[in-house]
Structures are given as C-alpha cells and as structure tokens.
Structure 1
Amino acid sequence: MLSFLAFDDRFQLHEALAYRIGIGDHFIMAAWALIEAGLILALARRIDIPLRAALLAAAGVMFFGVMMIFDAVVPHDMLLRLSIEDLAKSWAAALFLTGSWCLARYHLGLDRAAATLADWNIMAQWASSIRSREAEEN
C-alpha cells in the first residue's frame, strides 16, 4: 500500500481520477486511507505488531491527517499552505518508513524483546483488573 501511495504521489493518479469523476482529490486520498486502515485492522495480528511500530504508524496517521486538512480545508492561496502540506506529508512518510523498519526488525528476529500490541492489551487488562480489585477492597 505504501508503494502504491508513493506511485500515486509521483504520478498524481488521485488528481487525474478525481478530475475524471468530478470530485475533490482529497476524497480519493481519504478513501484510500480508509481502505488501507480497514485492511490493516482486519488482517493484522496484534501479536505480530511491535508497540513501537504501531505508535510510529499512528504518528504518521496524524501527520497524514494534517496534510489532508491543509489540502482540503485551508484556502489554496494561503501563505505557506503548500509548504506545510508537503512538510506534513514528508513527516508522515518518514514515520511510516520508520514504523515499517521496526516491524521488519521484529519479524527478522533482530528485536524479539519488543513489546507487541497483544502484550500491551494484556498489560492494560491486568492493570484494569488490579484497579477493579482495589476498588472492591475500598
């Protein structure tokens, strides 16, 4: 998916598609982002995703959102609008790449001690059970 988005960014596929359909190009990008998020959430196994990779991807999503806001909402003649949009896009790409690097290191066995999303969920459940026991005792 990241390769597809890079291809799209280079060859402006979403702009051409939006022009043919007659809608804003940010709607195409938002649809692709939702498709990607849906596929990741539906197909990913939490035990195979390091927490650090997930946090980096989440930060990338936030920068992607900033880019989308500057593309869709902010007036196109605003001073530095395009610079801020491209800066947010660059940070999103860097964070996605770093998250992918952490994920690859984990799956190659170079960082097997990393906490995964499944471990984090277990820790959150454990902390919740301790809090509920303390509440019952008090």
Structure 2
Amino acid sequence: MFEDNQKKLYIIVNRNMDASLLMNATGHLAGGIMQKAEDRLFQDYPNDDSGLSAYLSHYPVVILQAKNSNQLSTALQKCKDANLTYNFFTTTMLGQSTEQQIHDTKVASIDALEFVAIAIYGDTEILKPITKKFSVYG
C-alpha cells in the first residue's frame, strides 16, 4: 500500500458526462484546487538520461464517480459547510468566453447548475465521510 496517504486529492466526476468533457474538467479542477490549497506538497521526478523532469503531487490523486449532478452538489455543500478545500466545474463553465462563463455561473441558481465534476483536497480521514459513497472511476 502507498505510504503517503495523510492527504488526498479527490476528483469526483459525473459519470453521465462525455469522457472528453470529464478530462477537460479534471484538468481545470486539479490545477485550480492546488492554487487554493495552503498545504500542497509536490515532488520533482527528474530523469538523468534525458534531462526531463516531472512535477507531481506528493499525495495520491484519486478519481471517483458520482451517479449524477445532485450527488456532486450535495458533496460540495458538505465540503463548504466543513470549510474544506474544494473546487467545482459546471456546464455554465462552457461557452464562448471566460466572461460569459463567469457570468452564467454567478447568476445561476444552485438547482440550475449541472455539475460535471468536483475536486476536494485535504486530510484523508476528514474527507472519508464525504468520499465513501463514491466508487472508483472506471
């Protein structure tokens, strides 16, 4: 078993969405949540022969799946209420311009938001009650 499990980054995707949209959302979510996290830890993975170097999270990144947008909305509200580090991606974040996406997201009611995916980061034990109902994406 992997040793460094004190913290995790969970990305939970809506399994009803197209795979290309899910990949786009997970990329945005992973980058954005690490900007919000105060205690992030990354490691350099250099390769001596090529001179290439990768920079990866010290902690596991786990992709889970939700049955629908409502499950993601509920989990996100629990994260907000518990003051956890979270990020989200909704269909309002698709459109002709960043300005339009921001506007559409801002003015939508919570019930009108269709969640594509969410990300949560923090202590594994604190996140378990929120993540336990989701299965590994596959």
TM-score (norm: length of structure 1): 0.24
**Structure with greater helix share of residues:** 1
Indicate the structure whose relative CO is greater, using CA pairs within 8 Å and at least 6 residues apart: 2
For the pair shown, which has the larger CA radius of gyration, 1 or 2? 1
TM-score (norm: length of structure 2): 0.24
